[in-house]
Amino acid sequence: MIIKAGSKCVAVGECGLDYDRLFCSPKETQIRVFEAHFALAEKYKLPLYLHSRNAREDFLRIIKANRKRFSTGLVHCYTGGLEELQELINEGMYFSVNAYAFKE
């Protein structure tokens, strides 16, 4: 999906991994589809609108492997700890805070 504001595309997403919902989409499918979003971000020079829930290792690995393909990203659903948060900030990501941030 490409997010539009009026008639202008502003981001690619929602994309990412949600391992709390494996009953909806298996891990392998989520990874394959997540990786495909980087081609869109690269082609259209757009940031990513990201989702990471209970998927730290795979999410970080995929972000780092594709980091040169997108300008930046906003992680809107995030359930990781401070160490992961710092790693993603170091990769140039932004964060919004939702209820899952206060889950624990």
- Give the SS3 label for residue 75: strand
Q: Does residue 63 fall inside a structural domain?
A: yes
Q: Does residue 99 fall inside a structural domain?
A: yes
Residues with Cβ within 8 Å of residue 15, at least 6 apart in sequence: 33, 34, 37, 48, 49, 50, 51
Two structure tokens written together for 82: 């401070």
Q: How far apart are CA 104 and CA 95, in angstroms?
A: 18
Q: Does residue 46 fall inside a structural domain?
A: yes
Predicted TM-score of the model (pTM): 0.84
> Average pLDDT of 61-84?
91
Q: How far apart are CA 58 and CA 27, in angstroms?
A: 10
Say how many domains are in the chain.
1
Residue-number span of the structural domain to which 56 is assigned: 33-104
Torsion, Cα of 8, 10, 13, 14 (10° steps): -100
Q: Does residue 20 fall inside a structural domain?
A: no
**pLDDT value at 48 more than 90:** yes
**pLDDT value at 3 more than 60:** no
Q: Does residue 22 fall inside a structural domain?
A: no
Which pLDDT value is given to residue 91?
Answer: 93
- Give the SS3 label for residue 9: strand
